[in-house]
Amino acid sequence: MAINKYRAMKVSKGFSIHLLLGLVAFTCIFPLFWMLRCSFMTLETVFTDKSIIPTAFHFGNFIKVLTEEKFGIYFMNSVIYTASVVSAIVIIASLAAYSFSRLRFPGKNFFFYMFVAAMMIPLPGSFVPLYVLINKLNLVNTRIGYILCMTNVGLSMSILLLKTFFDKMNTDLEDAARIDGCGKLGIWWHVALPLARPAIAVIVIFNALNVWNEFILAQLLLTDTRLMPLQKALMEFQGAHSVDYPVLMAGLTLAAMPIILLYLAMQKHIVKGFSYGATAG
Amino acid sequence: MKKIASILSFLCLIALCFVFVSCSQQEKDPDRVVLWHWMNDRHEALETLAARYQKETGVKVKIDLFSPPHAYTQRITATAQTRDLPDIFGILDKKEIFAAYIKNGFVADLTEEYKKDNAAWEKSLFTKALDVNRFAEDNIYGVKPGVYGVPLDVTNIQIIYNKRLLKKAGISRPPETFDEFLEATKALNRVGVAGLVSGWGEMWLIESFALNYAFNIMGEEKVMATFRGQVPYTDPDWIKVFEIFDTLSEQGALVDGIVIKQNKIAEQDFALERAAFAFNGSWCVNVYHGMNADLEYGVILPPPVNPDRPMKIWGGSGSSLVVNKASPSKDKAIAFLRWLTAKDQQAYLSQETKNLPANKDALSEIPQILSDFAGVMDHTTHPTLWKYNELAKVASEFNKAIQSIIVGDLTPQEAAAKVQSIKMAEMEKEKRRQQRRER
Amino acid sequence: MTSLAQRKKFTMGDAKESLVNFSFILPAVILFSIFYIYPFYDIFRLSLHEWNGIDAQKYYVHFDNFKELFKDGNWWRSMWHAGIITFFALTFQNVMAFALALACDQKIRMKKFYRMIFFIPPVLSEVVVGFIWMWILNGDMQSGEYIGILNYLLDKMGLHHLITSWLSNPDTVLTCIALVHCWKGFGWGFIMLFAGLQTIDAQLYEAARVDGANSWQIFKNITIPMMVPVILVVIFLTVLGSMQVFVLIKAMVGQGLQDYTSVPVSEIFESMIGLKRFGYACAQGVSFGVTLITISLVFKLLSTKVKQY
């Protein structure tokens, strides 16, 4: 009897957990499904066809997006920007966060709070000074100028997050490495970074998404079409007055895919169960 | 970890290669004209025309698009500070800011160019469209009188009605007075059709609608006197203007969520026959055609409240471009714009983008509904043509107050009092600003 | 005297070590100095001027912009709106994120699937999110049927008194926006908290279980204390993100009902792009930043207190 009651409780607990998770999951997946559904329709049917699954699949929108000559260029540009900015941030921010968390030097707190405070002044106010600055540095309409700016944008948040994780982490392995004669840089690379992998995965996704979806700063600092990121193409699909919704949705779906794939690739690093020692040697 | 590290470093390496390859700065080519614009619906057509122009004359015109408009405005504002504006660009702001660009030497005076060859260029364009770019003899901005821009197209904003839905409600002809309009929306409501839809989640469309009626109720002079601060917004005539929105809302003449509709959404509602009337500009022809090719619709002036005074609607130049005064290829830029506003190119632009051409001669080659729109160009007016404009902050509060009336949060009297108190405060501030400038 | 004694202790070796340690943050500091310090200095300088963004001449006005801002009802109202959205995000969004992260940390079926799904909303562009929620919350009717899904369902369930035009009703619009914001943002809290849960040593749980602790005791005595730093960061980032919300509102209601939906960033944009008052916009930016810094300082003090207990 008692066992039955216990089991019933367990089952109902499991059921309610799944009900909650399922409900939330449904609202999350619905927009993606809706986007996909619309991108298989034509401009005539998208507003009139009320069926949940479109009556006729129409692949023309995807073909239209993919054969758009500039889409390829924009896509490549976004890949370049995202890869550069994310790698730069991971290296620079983890170095800084490691130092803030583990090492001692004068003015440490000052510098740390300086980074944190920088997050709080909203950027919309700064486009004129920023442009003037980039112009003085002779970096207008160059990839490197845009990459440096975007790196700077993501830096503060990444340092804060990484420092939190480093603070929380056990120092045993680092101590062992130090006793083995490993230098500070060596410990950072061989011990601290692999241990902070979940946090780094979060930072990679956060910054990748940030760069991938950015287009205002890109248009402030870049001029040439061949340097523009992917979001610019999506802006072009949304005409000033007329919007070709199915093509826009196809474009948005294609644009969202790489980030979702990146998330899938990263999330297994968030999960424990990997042997940490593998890269330490 | 090693794997990620190697993948990351590999990506880095590729990225760096690209970065440095593209780092070489391109030089300024005096034989090339650079044009910056914000019109993403016209980008392709402009590029096609630029290619055609290069074939004909050998001059390369580089067309760069920045969108949405606020991103474009940021770019223009920032580049004005470093003095590297392109050869041709557009100014999306009010006349006051246009004047500031001119006074700071960013914009070339085109008056002489228009006058050349017996004013051939000037004569080929709609006067209303040119007037948007004109600064009159005694303008309040202190700009040297003249014409400073080139209109690409013209536009005006009217009421569009759905013929099929009107018939369904048993209405034989479109309303001619405001009362008839209210009657019509009631009849429509009875058969389950909403009345008026418009993008009143965008300030300028509310402002346009409200000022149409302000002109109709009290006449242009009194509106200008209000802007100068001589007539308060609490004047009975202005209360009448505010009451229009109260009446429309009370009588259920408006689509439910009209105050949060962006024009794109409002256009969709009309095209899908969710509302029988729309207040929208001539560009809608293109939009409606795209969304519902079978839509049967006509166009009327907003039905007047005061039948004794003709209705004035907003219209004039849709988009204009200006030439950079400091540009080394200024003459080439002007030549390109002259070519762009010639008959053939205007006809092409009009066909491709369904906008009304700025060139009168191109008008013969456009669809019927567009010429219906063009037929009332004489009725148009626009804030850029007026001698006085309302202070930006007051205008914005005026529009917000109307939104509050529509959702029933303010009565017309309260709204008028609120706008007037802001007007007083802003005039005080403006006076101080003026004094500072003179010092 | 004491300082001298301290200085004596600070040997050459220490100095060298400090220098080496400092070099770790050097790349970040260099980047920061180039790309933040000048723009920040310029924003602060502009906030003391009256400038339309084009003129060569900028008029120095002392602190007039700040004085005006202090009395600007619109500005404080926008702060209040952002505060409400932040309140929703702090409670609703973070509790949901934590609950879901905990659920996914359990041994349940399909957790990989859930983990994948929960991160979709943050990935989607605001345009799509705006479209979809506008459609769900639409209050319009066509031929006697509600267009919006929510109203349609309420109608079918017979809950007519609840039907309203959600986004154009001044009483509901801000709450709707706040809830959509929570829905869009909980994925971030979710993965950060989830990543935090992963770094808790599994041995701790096992040891506790061996000692006979029940789930609630484990949660209270191990999970929460271990998670405090991550929770604090999530709270901090939620406050920052919610106070600066803007694009989503723009996508959902445009410029509609600004008196009921304005937020600080939209006010800054309005001052700068709409009214062309760059000095005033910079003053808004500066005081907004100062407000956020003050909030975080208070928060920091409180959290140190919490950690001590």
- Predicted confidence (pLDDT) per residue in B194-204, tens digit: 899 999 988 88
Single-letter code of the amino acid located at A87: S
Yes or no, beta carbons of B70 and C273 under 8 Å apart: yes
Q: Tell me: the pLDDT tens digits for A184-203?
A: 888 888 888 888 888 898 89
Architecture of domain B156-314+388-434: 3-Layer(aba) Sandwich (3.40)
Yes or no, beta carbons of A143 and B66 under 8 Å apart: no
Yes or no, beta carbons of B19 and A224 under 8 Å apart: no
| Residue B298 and residue B372 in contact, taking contact as beta carbons nearer than 8 Å | yes
Is the pLDDT at C5 greater than 60? The verdict is: no
Instruction: Mutate one of A271, A275, A276 to test the C interface: name it (highest C CB count within 10 A).
Output: A271
Is the pLDDT at C8 greater than 60? The verdict is: no
Q: Tell me: the pLDDT tens digits for A239-249?
A: 645 567 788 88
Q: Tell me: the pLDDT tens digits for A227-267?
A: 889 888 887 777 645 567 788 888 888 888 888 888 888 88
Kindly indicate the confidence band of residue B6, based on its pLDDT and cuts at 50, 70 and 90.
low
Which residues in B378-414 are b (16+ Cβ under 10 Å) and which e?
ebbbbbbbeeebbbbbbbbbbbbbbbbbbbebbebee
Coil/strand/helix, residue B361: helix
Contacts with A241 (C-beta within 8 Å, 6 or more apart), sequence order: B41, B263, B264, B267, B283, B284, B286, B287
- Residue A197 near chain B (CB below 8 Å): yes
Yes or no, beta carbons of C38 and A129 under 8 Å apart: yes
Instruction: Mutate one of A11, A29, A119, A200 to test the C interface: name it (highest C CB count within 10 A).
Output: A119
For the segment C220-236, the average pLDDT, to the nearest whole number, is 87
- Residue A217 near chain C (CB below 8 Å): no
For residue C9, the model assigns a pLDDT of: 57
DSSP state of B28: P
For residue A275, the model assigns a pLDDT of: 34
Kindly indicate the confidence band of residue B24, based on its pLDDT and cuts at 50, 70 and 90.
very low
What CATH number labels B32-155+316-384? 3.40.190.10
Domain ranges of chain C: 1-46, 63-308
Is the pLDDT at B245 greater than 90? The verdict is: yes
> In which region does residue B186 sit, left (phi positive, over 0), alpha (psi from -120 to 50) or beta (all else)?
alpha
Yes or no, beta carbons of A24 and C100 under 8 Å apart: yes
Report if residue A166 sits inside a domain: yes
Instruction: Mutate one of B85, B93, B259, B438 to test the C interface: name it (highest C CB count within 10 A).
Output: B259
For residue C213, the model assigns a pLDDT of: 84
Kindly indicate the confidence band of residue A121, based on its pLDDT and cuts at 50, 70 and 90.
confident
Query: Nearest CA to C237 among C294, C296, C285?
Result: C296
- Rounded CA gap, B391 and B370, in Å? 34
Q: CB contacts < 8 Å between A and B, how many?
A: 120
Of A31, A128, A149, the CB nearest to C129: A31
Yes or no, beta carbons of B82 and A135 under 8 Å apart: yes
Using a 10 angstrom Cβ sphere, with 0-12 exposed, 13-18 middle and 19 or more buried, the burial of residue A88 is buried
Highest mean pLDDT among A103-117, B230-244, C146-160, C253-267: B230-244
Using the structure block, give the residue that is written with the tokens 């997946």.
A29
Yes or no, beta carbons of B101 and C273 under 8 Å apart: no
- Residue B78 near chain C (CB below 8 Å): no
Report if residue A73 sits inside a domain: yes
For residue C153, the model assigns a pLDDT of: 85
For the segment B277-282, the average pLDDT, to the nearest whole number, is 90
Kindly indicate the confidence band of residue B93, based on its pLDDT and cuts at 50, 70 and 90.
confident
For residue A279, the model assigns a pLDDT of: 32
- Rounded CA gap, A265 and A245, in Å? 30
Yes or no, beta carbons of A135 and B286 under 8 Å apart: no
- Find residues 47-86 of chain C whose CB sits inside 8 Å of chain A: 53
Is the pLDDT at B311 greater than 90? The verdict is: no
Chains near C (3 or more Cβ pairs under 8 Å): A, B
**What's the mean pLDDT when you consider all of chain C?**
85
Kindly indicate the confidence band of residue B34, based on its pLDDT and cuts at 50, 70 and 90.
very high
Q: What is the 3-state secondary structure (H, E, C) of B373-417?
A: HHCCHHHEECHHHCCCCCCHHHHHHHHHHHHHHHCCCCCHHHHHH
Is the pLDDT at B437 greater than 60? The verdict is: yes
Q: Tell me: the pLDDT tens digits for C48-77?
A: 988 888 888 888 888 889 999 998 889 999
Q: What CATH code is carried by the domain that includes residue A114? A: 1.10.3720.10
For residue C83, the model assigns a pLDDT of: 94
Strands B275-281 and B194-198: parallel
What CATH number labels C63-308? 1.10.3720.10
Q: Tell me: the pLDDT tens digits for C15-33?
A: 888 888 888 888 899 988 8
Is the pLDDT at A93 greater than 90? The verdict is: yes
Is the pLDDT at B149 greater than 80? The verdict is: yes
Kindly indicate the confidence band of residue B374, based on its pLDDT and cuts at 50, 70 and 90.
confident
**What's the mean pLDDT when you consider all of chain B?**
86
Is the pLDDT at B280 greater than 70? The verdict is: yes
Residue B181 tokens, joined = 């309009």
Coil/strand/helix, residue C168: coil
Is the pLDDT at C308 greater than 60? The verdict is: yes
- Rounded CA gap, C28 and C16, in Å? 20
% chain A with pLDDT above 90: 15
Which residue in chain B is spatially nearest to A85 when comparing CA positions?
B12
Q: Tell me: the pLDDT tens digits for B47-72?
A: 999 999 999 998 899 999 898 888 89
For residue C219, the model assigns a pLDDT of: 86
Judged by average pLDDT, the poorest of B7-16, C97-106, C116-125 is B7-16
Q: Tell me: the pLDDT tens digits for B101-127?
A: 999 999 999 998 888 888 888 888 888
Domain ranges of chain B: 32-155+316-384, 156-314+388-434
More confident residue, C74 or C105: C74
For residue C300, the model assigns a pLDDT of: 81
% chain B with pLDDT above 70: 93
Residue B326 tokens, joined = 């400091």
Of B12, B40, B286, the CB nearest to A236: B40
The DSSP H or E segment spanning C59 is: strand C59-60
- Find residues 50-79 of chain A whose CB sits inside 8 Å of chain C: none
For the segment B305-312, the average pLDDT, to the nearest whole number, is 87
- Per the structure, the count of domains in chain A is 1
Judged by average pLDDT, the poorest of B370-379, C216-225, C226-235 is B370-379
Cβ neighbours of A249 in C, within 8 Å: 128
Cβ neighbours of B38 in A, within 8 Å: 240
The DSSP H or E segment spanning A84 is: helix A69-102
Cβ neighbours of B64 in A, within 8 Å: 223-225
Fold match between B32-155+316-384 and B156-314+388-434? Answer: yes
Using a 10 angstrom Cβ sphere, with 0-12 exposed, 13-18 middle and 19 or more buried, the burial of residue B306 is middle
User: Cα distance from B127 to chain A (closest Cα, Å)?
Assistant: 25
Of A44, A87, A241, the CB nearest to B11: A87
Q: Tell me: the pLDDT tens digits for B261-270?
A: 888 888 888 9
Report if residue A51 sits inside a domain: no
- Find residues 65-104 of chain A whose CB sits inside 8 Å of chain B: 80, 83-84, 86-87, 90
For residue B25, the model assigns a pLDDT of: 46
Cβ neighbours of C100 in A, within 8 Å: 20-21, 24
More confident residue, B214 or A65: B214
Q: B150 to each of B103, B121, B128, B335, B346, how far by Cα in Å?
A: 18, 10, 12, 11, 13
For the segment B268-279, the average pLDDT, to the nearest whole number, is 89
For the segment C160-189, the average pLDDT, to the nearest whole number, is 88
